[in-house]
Structure 1
Amino acid sequence: MDDDRVWAFEESLWTGDAEHYRELIDEACTMVLLVPPFVFSGQHAVEAVAATPRWTKASFSDQRIARPEEGLIVVAYHIAVERDEEKFAAYCTSTYRRRAHDDWQVVQHQQTVPLTET
């Protein structure tokens, strides 16, 4: 997956509907989110995010991509998202695993809000 597709994939996780989200998250995914219980895995990780309203605008900065081995992509970035008057910003990481040709799923996602941004 080239860099432009990586960022389009990641953006779709923030803005796509719940069904789209469920399709892209591996059933063995582990996440650290900013809501209790903070550490989620498996179906609980999928449902924790799929059940939330989707963002309508996403802006990335400080973007990094690593490809430590064939079929594995790790991204890190700062995200600023909006919906109506609500805004959210965080530093994030995601890890994708290729299951088949052009079939990627998220196996890890983590969000951090630095104390200076709260």
Structure 2
Amino acid sequence: MDDGRVWSFEESLWVGDAEHYRASIDDECLMVLPAPPFVMSGQQAIEAVSATPRWSKVELSERQVARPQEGMIVIAYKARAERDGVTPYEAHCTSTYRRLAHEEWRVVQHQQTPPLLASP
């Protein structure tokens, strides 16, 4: 998967519908998100994110792509997501994809770290 397709795929996970999300996340996926229960795996991660309202817009910056071995892609980036009536969300993120077959990829890891809140 070339870099352009990598970023289109990642953006689609933020703004696509729940069915697209379910089809793109591996059953063995591990996720760390900034809301309880924080650490999730497999179907728990899929259901938690599928049940969350989708973002209407996302901008990915500070993009980096690594291909540590054949059939694996690791990305890191900063996301800024928006939807009506909600304060924009920002986080530094990583995702790891594994290839199942020619042009068939699934997310096996995703992590989001929002900016640290300033101490009072």
TM-score where L is the length of structure 1: 0.96
| Structure 2 unmatched runs, 5+ | none
Per the TM alignment, residue 116 of structure 1 is displaced from its structure 2 partner at its CA by: 4.5
**What residue is the counterpart of 2:116 in the other structure?**
115
Partner of 1:97: 98
CA distance in 2, matches of 1:74, 1:117: 30
Aligned length: 118
| Runs (4+) off by over 2 Å | none
Question: 2:82 aligned with 1:82, yes or no?
Answer: yes
**Paired residue secondary structure (2:35):** coil
What value does the CA root-mean-square deviation take over the aligned residues? 1.3
Measured against aligned partners, the alpha-carbon deviations of 1:70-114 in whole angstroms (never above 9, x if no partner) come to 100000000001011321010000000000000000000000012
**Aligned residue number for residue 12 of structure 2:** 12
Does residue 25 of structure 1 match 2:25? Answer: yes
Work out the CA distance in 2 between the residues paired with 1:81 and 1:36: 20
Task: Give the TM-score normalised by the residue count of structure 2.
Answer: 0.95
Q: Tell me the distance in 1 between the aligned counterparts of 2:95 and 2:82.
A: 20
Q: How has the CA–CA distance of structure 1 residues 4 and 117 changed in structure 2, closer, same or farther, with 3 Å as cutoff?
A: farther
- Equivalent-residue separation in structure 1 for 2:57 and 2:100 (angstroms): 29
> Alpha carbons of 1:76 and 1:117: their partners in 2 closer, same or farther (altered >3 Å)?
farther
